């Protein structure tokens, strides 16, 4: 994608993200209609849907030739990554949105012919915008985020992961995961994949490991991570597929190989 085209698109997407975030803040204490999707803990609210409708409307009106890949069903059915695709999670961390009224984000990645060009992750209640354009660096509220540290011993790393990894699971032997948790300095669980990507990019956690994410959970984060030298793969070290669900391991490359080889691949089922 041409750099000028990308810059214009970036400014437009950023404006819409801030506008959508402002609307959510205004309505944060309004009564919510909450439904469930795949299971009783898989929540969706009218705010998720309304926010996605807002973006889909703006995009279809302004860029009718673009495509939309999004969580709540107002996007397109896509079978290739050809063209310009807005990959949208209107609210990432819906459970946090419902229970905590904070710790959720709007996540938008814009990809062109399969390449991540723009990433925007907006911590709505914190009013913190993480953003990146390919080859132009990553920013937190307009301040450039420095490249990730290259000297983190595993015993001083903080890892973000869901506690399900420590229970019997289909991917990695839980004994290896327990050993990993005891090896690193600490672990965290924030409940918003997009924010966990942003925190990894910021270097306040050194990696994020998750069992099953959709493209809209990771599209923006991957662009931002890449700009600070981070690496994103599946939990067994393979490239992630933007048209399907994936296990995901995004990390500082300095600890990535060690965690992959010594724990995830070693304990792989």
Q: CA 96 → CA 42, 91, 191, distances in Å?
A: 12, 10, 7
Q: Which residues are annotated as a binding site?
A: 71, 89, 91-92, 217
State the minimum distance, in angstroms, from the CB of residue 113 to ligand 2AM.
26
Q: Which of 70, 103, 160, 162 binds ligand 2AM (CB under 6 A)?
A: 162
Q: Which of 9, 52, 59, 89 binds Ca ion (CB under 5 A)?
A: 89
Which 58-87 positions form the footprint of Ca ion (CB under 5 A)? Answer: 71
Q: Which of Ca ion, ligand 2AM, none is residue 93 near (CB under 5 to 8 Å by kind)?
A: ligand 2AM
Which 99-158 positions form the footprint of Ca ion (CB under 5 A)? Answer: none
- Say if CB 107 and CB 220 are below 8 A apart: yes
Q: Which residues are annotated as a binding site for Mg(2+)?
A: 71, 89, 91-92, 217
Q: How many residues does the chain have?
A: 269
State the minimum distance, in angstroms, from the CB of residue 116 to Ca ion.
17
Q: Which is nearer to Ca ion, 33 or 150 (CB)?
A: 33
Tell me the residue nearest to Ca ion as measured from the CB.
92
Burial of 95 (0-12, 13-18, 19+ CB in 10 A): middle
Does residue 72 belong to the site contacting ligand 2AM (CB under 6 A)?
no
171-174 contact pairs (CB < 8 A, 24+): 171/211, 171/235, 171/236, 171/247, 171/268, 171/269, 172/235, 172/263, 172/264, 172/267, 172/268, 172/269, 173/267, 173/268, 173/269
Q: Which is nearer to ligand 2AM, 42 or 156 (CB)?
A: 42
Does residue 244 belong to the site contacting ligand 2AM (CB under 6 A)?
no
Query: Which tokens sit at 160?
Result: 């973000």
Q: Which of ligand 2AM, Ca ion, none is residue 191 near (CB under 5 to 8 Å by kind)?
A: ligand 2AM
Does residue 176 belong to the site contacting ligand 2AM (CB under 6 A)?
no
Which 194-223 positions form the footprint of ligand 2AM (CB under 6 A)? Answer: 213-214, 217
- Say if CB 86 and CB 56 are below 8 A apart: no
Does residue 248 belong to the site contacting ligand 2AM (CB under 6 A)?
no
- CB atoms under 10 Å from CB of 22, counted, come to 12
- Residue 84 phi/psi, 5-degree rounding, is -100, 120
Q: What span, in angstroms and rounded, lies between the C-alpha atoms of 119 and 137?
A: 11
Binding site for ligand 2AM (CB under 6 A): 38, 42, 71, 89, 92-94, 162, 191-193, 213-214, 217
């Amino acid at each position: 994608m041409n750099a000028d085209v990308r810059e214009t698109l970036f400014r437009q997407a950023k404006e819409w993200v801030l506008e959508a975030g402002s609307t959510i803040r205004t309505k944060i204490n309004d009564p919510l209609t909450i439904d469930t999707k795949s299971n009783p803990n898989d929540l969706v609210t009218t705010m998720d849907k309304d926010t996605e409708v807002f973006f889909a409307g703006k995009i279809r009106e302004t860029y009718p030739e673009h495509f939309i890949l999004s969580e709540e069903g107002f996007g397109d059915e896509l079978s290739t990554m050809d063209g310009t695709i807005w990959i949208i999670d209107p609210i990432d961390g819906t459970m946090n949105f419902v229970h905590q009224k904070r710790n959720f984000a709007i996540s938008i990645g814009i990809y062109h012919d399969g390449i991540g060009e723009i990433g925007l992750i907006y911590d709505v209640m914190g009013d913190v915008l993480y953003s990146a354009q390919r080859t132009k660096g990553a920013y937190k509220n307009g301040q450039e985020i420095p490249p990730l540290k290259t000297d983190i011993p595993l015993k001083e790393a903080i890892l973000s992961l869901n506690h399900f990894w420590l229970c019997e699971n289909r991917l990695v032997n839980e004994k290896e995961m327990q050993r990993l948790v005891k090896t690193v300095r600490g672990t965290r669980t924030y409940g918003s994949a997009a924010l966990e990507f942003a925190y990894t990019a910021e270097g306040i956690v050194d990696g994020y490991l998750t069992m099953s994410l959709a493209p809209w959970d990771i599209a923006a984060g991957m662009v931002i991570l890449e700009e600070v030298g981070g690496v994103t793969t599946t939990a067994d070290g393979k490239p992630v597929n933007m048209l399907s669900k994936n296990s995901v391991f995004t990390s500082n490359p300095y600890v990535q190989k060690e965690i992959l080889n010594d724990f995830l691949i070693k304990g792989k089922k």
